[in-house]
Amino acid sequence: MQIRLVTIDSHTLVRLGVAHAVAGQPDIELVAEAGSVAEARALVPSAMPTVITVDAMLPDGDGLALALELRERIPGLGVVVLAAANDTLLFRSLESGMSAFVPRSAQADEVVAGIRHAAVSGKSFSANGLADAVARRNRPQGSLLSVREHEVLRLMRDGATVPRMAVALTVSESTVKTYVSRVYTKLQVGNRAQALMAGVQRGLLADADEFAGAY
């Protein structure tokens, strides 16, 4: 089958990388590119892709939410999440019903394999690192965060700002920022919402109700 591909990413180099990966592949045609949610909404329906590659975080919205929206307009659309290697994003992609998760650092042949999988088996999730991610997710996490870092995560859950955390912990704001950075690094996330979701998934916060209560 001929695969019609659209790549959606705010980074020109990533879009060029996808173009390079599929160049010369007789069964894959790159028909359009977009750098934002707004651009994708405007061009994807008329491009009629078989598969899209999409970053999880776009400058004007959530890439996975966009993918689900586009699937409603193009039934059977295959979706490859092409994003930074991150367990939280991998599991979000799985739980959202995406077709595949491929790290941006992957070789061209892995990108092509993800696109082909999405074209023929869009509802079946594929990710080369899935088994390792599951093992990390199921590993006891009691010592993952220090006591102080765990306190910071709980304060983040409760909606505390950096100044409020500094007061609660009786430390400077710069020290709080250091703790927050360490939490993000250890949980392999990039922002507060992802840290809270990872904390729930890893059993570092009591339960999902506490996470939901932060919003």
| 106 contacts: CB under 8 Å, gap ≥ 6 | 128
Element (H, E) at 63: helix 63-73
| pTM score | 0.68
Q: How far apart are CA 54 and CA 207, in angstroms?
A: 30
Domain spans in the chain, listed from the N-terminal domain onward: 3-135, 147-212
* 71 exposure class (CB count in 10 Å sphere: 0-12, 13-18, 19+): middle
Residues 48, 54, 58, 62: is their CA dihedral positive or negative?
positive
Q: How far apart are CA 14 and CA 83, in angstroms?
A: 10
Closest by CA to 56, choosing from 17, 100, 109, is 100
Residue owning tokens 């950075």: 181
- Provide φ and ψ at 148, rounded to 5°: -65, -45
Structure tokens at 34: 């977009």
**To the nearest 5 percent, what fractions of the chain are helix, strand and coil?**
55, 15, 35
What string of pLDDT tens digits covers the 215 residues of the chain? 899 999 999 999 999 999 999 999 999 999 999 999 999 999 999 999 999 999 998 999 999 999 999 999 999 999 999 998 888 889 889 999 999 999 988 999 999 999 999 999 988 999 998 888 787 677 655 557 888 888 899 899 989 999 999 888 888 999 999 999 999 998 889 999 999 988 887 778 854 333 333 32
Same fold, 3-135 and 147-212: no
Residue type, 60: D
Pairing of strands 28-34, 51-54: unpaired
Instruction: Say if CB 101 and CB 81 are below 8 A apart.
Output: yes
Instruction: Say if CB 115 and CB 80 are below 8 A apart.
Output: yes
Report whether CATH 3.40.50.150 matches the domain 147-212: no
DSSP E strands in 9-127: the ranges are: 28-34, 51-54, 57-58, 61-62, 78-83, 100-103
In Å, how far are 18, 76, 151 from 31, measured between CA atoms? 12, 17, 49
3-135: which CATH number, 3.40.50.2300, 3.40.250.10, 3.20.20.140, 3.10.450.50? 3.40.50.2300
**Predicted pLDDT at 210:** 36
Instruction: Say if CB 136 and CB 87 are below 8 A apart.
Output: yes
**Predicted pLDDT at 167:** 85
- Provide φ and ψ at 79, rounded to 5°: -130, 120
